[in-house]
Structure 1
């Protein structure tokens, strides 16, 4: 070959090594004294569109070998071959796309020794040979030895698992490959039962750990702050999502046991509440008690007996109803009860919100259409939710807000003539399912409220008594259908009003604790 090609033997052997490194399956025929490539190792040429070729190469470029994804090395070699065959203008296009796209995946935690176990399992599963494994089990709390019939290898959540019948468990189990410490292929073989399917097997477990016993029908309620995050993920094949009026969801699922799903529920803390079965309620409560014991040195003694549930309360009503006074009094009372309180006003509180507030209330020379007003209020509220309200609730704080979405429905809907469903639809997008646990609606006749405002009226107050009357009517009509609204007679003495508000808050807390 060297003589025919006019090069040295060293060059020939170097080229052969380069071919092997590129994944070319070279074989040496000792009879014919020649190297050859088996026909079965290569597919017939095929045609790819430029878009198909670029998509394969971009994915291989951007994923990177550090992810540890299965078959990545072979895919990367194929992409390199494609890239080398591209015309220059397509290579430039590939460079431009790669420069503007970045894909981040969590790296696979697959130790080097697990690669050997993985390859042994691939061979054993393919030839239907049993294996004997020594396995470090986090559930049995020890290293176990078992004879395993490796039915299937499964790549899930950035790790390899083997599913098969275990002799020690006398059942089909799932084993994580990187926890296999030793593995030996046995001579005896196995047959996969005809009724075994991976999908059917995993359907009976929350993720990877089937448990003995009858199936469990589970219902968990997630509050509005986390409801969207839970609902947008397919956690389990049997799951059903039911949205509630307050933005919470009831999550239904059927699994074979409660142990593993309990860990998932606990991850949502006080934002998740098990509605059924009682056995899961008891298990979660037991976990919670043990968690509290672990941190007993750091938790105030008052919290060891009674936890303080955060609340989101909005105050509304026509101008002059006394919202600020009552909000301040309620703040003092809640702090005495152990709540950490965050105050905000809508629009306002954030930098963007305060600028919108100034535009809406103090720029009297502006003739704003009701639709413009509504959209400005909504924009300020979106910023308020993301910057103040949602983070405060997530950190366990109680939020008291001067006005919220109900105000737009009353002011721009009922009083200004905008379509109520349009206002509600925009509001739904704006608040992103963050709705008050309770709205305190201070009801005061407009002929009593208007004189309280004095002479220095803002844009909304300056619209007059008739406008204020329509706003009040809107509030009262909406209170009949709006969830969790407490209508308080604001013609009473300040102390009497405050007592009624505290009673409404206490009742709502009891209701939420059920």
Structure 2
């Protein structure tokens, strides 16, 4: 059992996970808690190299098994190098996506065997699960439109925005992924906290903060260490 607090963010594309993960990280940091922010795939030097392969739009020939194993390899490195060591110090880890995405995207989305994915994920993570997972709910079409608009703004010189190989899959695929997340929440309702992502960013951030506050009793602020 780890000593710290492990919080993850999940949801369809364009739900605003990265924004809310960063907002929570910044608020925890400002409140004096030991906290790091990371993401999947990525978060380590090796993980970021794997990420480039996974999201590249040119890699259309990638086999589903290759995709699963690459995601799991990046996750194994992240857990081993960053997440477990930081939790062991009693700190908070905020992660933009984690293993639930594999079950939703490769399991329900691509139709891969869920039991096989559980075995692979167990090996990659050593059984490490989040203490709390926020699911940001949004209609998949609206979410994809958000990402497309962000990409268009980026191309016109705005803030960088990613449009990757998984984003480019058809609408039916993204609907299967959303259904997968709904099924995952039913299996572990005590861990998941679902919130409407189609609301002002500040209001959503406040709801997330109120859900996290009761768990902060277990964390020693930096000033009192």
Tell me, yes or no, whether TM beats 0.5.
yes
Is the 1:438–1:508 Cα contact (8 Å) retained in structure 2?
A: no
Structure having the larger proportion of residues in helix:
2
Is the 2:60–2:165 Cα contact (8 Å) retained in structure 1?
A: no
2:50 corresponds to 1:356: yes
Q: Who is 1:374 aligned against?
A: 68
Q: Who is 1:315 aligned against?
A: 9
Is the 2:59–2:165 Cα contact (8 Å) retained in structure 1?
A: no
Taking a change above 3 Å as real, the CA distance of residues 335 and 430 of structure 1, as seen in their structure-2 partners, is: same
Q: Who is 2:195 aligned against?
A: 488
2:196 corresponds to 1:502: no
Give the TM-score normalised by structure 2: 0.85
Structure 1 gap segments, 5+ residues each: 1-222, 226-270, 272-309
2:34 corresponds to 1:340: yes
Q: Displacement, 1:457?
A: 2.5
Higher relative contact order (CA 8 A, sep 6+): 2
Q: Who is 2:167 aligned against?
A: 461
1:268-279 equivalences under 5 Å are: 271=3
Give, in whole Å, the separation in 2 of the partners of 1:501 and 1:365: 36
1:151-162 equivalences under 5 Å are: none
Query: 1:217-236 deviations in whole A, cap 9, x for unaligned?
Result: xxxxxx2x3xxxxxxxxxxx
2:89 corresponds to 1:395: yes
Is the 2:53–2:59 Cα contact (8 Å) retained in structure 1?
A: no
Q: Who is 2:222 aligned against?
A: none
Q: Displacement, 1:509?
A: 4.2
Is the 2:47–2:78 Cα contact (8 Å) retained in structure 1?
A: yes
1:294-333 equivalences under 5 Å are: 310-333=4-27
Query: 1:37-64 deviations in whole A, cap 9, x for unaligned?
Result: xxxxxxxxxxxxxxxxxxxxxxxxxxxx
Q: Who is 1:431 aligned against?
A: 125
2:92 corresponds to 1:385: no
Give, in whole Å, the separation in 2 of the partners of 1:330 and 1:411: 25
Secondary structure of the 2:58 match is: coil
Query: 1:125-162 deviations in whole A, cap 9, x for unaligned?
Result: xxxxxxxxxxxxxxxxxxxxxxxxxxxxxxxxxxxxxx
Give, in whole Å, the separation in 2 of the partners of 1:488 and 1:463: 25
1:1-80 equivalences under 5 Å are: none
Is the 1:350–1:383 Cα contact (8 Å) retained in structure 2?
A: yes
Give, in whole Å, the separation in 1 of the partners of 2:24 and 2:206: 9
Q: Displacement, 1:492?
A: 1.4
2:148 corresponds to 1:442: no
Question: RMSD between aligned alpha carbons?
Answer: 1.8
Query: 1:418-453 deviations in whole A, cap 9, x for unaligned?
Result: 011111121111111222111111111112101111
Secondary structure of the 1:452 match is: helix
Q: Who is 2:154 aligned against?
A: none
